[in-house]
Amino acid sequence: MAPASAQLSELAILLKSLLTFSYPADRVLSQHFRNHPDIGRRDRAFLAEAAYAILRHLRSLETAIGSQHPRDLVIAWLARLSGLNLRECEGLVHTNELDRYKAAKAYPLQDSATAIRLDLPEWLVAPLAMQYGERLPALMQAMNAPASLDLRVNTLKLSRDKALAQMLTDGFSATATPYSPLGIRLSNKPPLSQYPLFQDGALEVQDEGSQLLTLLTGAHRGEMVCDFCAGAGGKTLALGAQMHNSGRLYAFDVSEKRLARMKPRLARSGLSNVHPQVLAHENDSKVKRLAGKFDRVLVDAPCSGLGTLRRNPDLKWRQTANSIAELTVKQATILNSAARLVKAGGHLVYATCSLLESENQAIVSAFLAAHPGFALQPVNEALGRLGASLDTGAYLTLTPDQHGTDGFFAAIMQRTP
């Protein structure tokens, strides 16, 4: 169904708020819909999808239409991304906008600079080109496509096979994820909040790559495990199920608000071995008291999030070279602090959802150079033990063009026994 003129006007209003990049796009959308409760479900879906498409392709749309004005960007979206032909668009744009529409549609982007063709900020082109070389266009094409909806099955409740069979019976278009033994991938994005398996805690929304991160910790029954940057608890819940609800699982975070968002999910999950703890900072006294006591520590470090551009396209416009430099200092500090928790023979997993080596391999290499008591454990060997048909070498490096997941990095390090 083609959009109506009123929808396009509302889209331009929404873009005006989004393009300030003052807040995350999902928060801006949520606030907009709260402020306009009269906008129906279908219109909300259209506005969100179109707005995210414009954010993904912002540089090329601005270039094609020669403007950054929200209304002009809507016209450029109509011309280049909506899939509508000229006849369908004629009734949606004003007569004096048709020339701009036609010019945007015909603009030869293939002659543009790399940053424009790939819809990237200038500062990000060089580091990504250095890492990915000729693969970069394919990577960014995948990053500029909407992400699938992946679910993790809570095996405390039922097996993946049973969950998948039930979802297929209930009419979902679902398949098993290729690498994670816990994942189900949906081909569309149906509302799940009222679905019984979701309400019961048998299903959680979690990207397949994120599922693999928690599996790489190797957490077992009865162990002491720490999710050092737990946030809203997606990986914490996965770890708890992996531990069969035994042992002690600490969920640390410096944000009480983020940890609070875990509570309803924790209640649904059936887990009783999780102990959320708010830290004042990474060197909190709680960390010192628990030093050397943990079998497994997961550090899903605060990062640029550039591996999640399929879901959060605004991040590439909100981050800067300076913000990345600040993050790498924080990442190194957090990893150093978390390492103190690991007991002799224990494992430390460092992970991000970033594409940049400066946030990934460089952090791990510097840490290992400064901590000779830790040794790198090849991720491909750990994946082999999990039965995953995946080999990315010594580190886990996932990307949407090659693996169909968000962009993830992980390294496993073991403390000398």
Cβ burial, residue 111 (10 Å; 0-12/13-18/19+): exposed
Q: Of 25, 328, 119, nearest to 128 (Cα)?
A: 119
- The stretches of 224-360 forming alpha helices (DSSP H) are 234-242, 256-260, 262-269, 285-289, 315-318, 321-339
Q: Which two tokens stand for residue 290?
A: 């628990």
Q: Of 114, 3, 87, nearest to 48 (Cα)?
A: 3
Q: How far apart are CA 381 and CA 402, in angstroms?
A: 20
Candidates 226, 229, 303, 353; catalytic one? 353
Q: How far apart are CA 402 and CA 373, in angstroms?
A: 34
For the question of residue 229 being annotated catalytic, the response is no
Whether 391 and 353 have beta carbons less than 8 Å apart is answered as: no
- The stretches of 57-204 forming alpha helices (DSSP H) are 58-65, 70-80, 86-90, 98-106, 114-117, 122-132, 136-143, 160-169, 196-199
Whether 179 and 403 have beta carbons less than 8 Å apart is answered as: yes
Neighbours of 136 (CB within 10 A): 18
User: Which residues are annotated as catalytic?
Assistant: 353
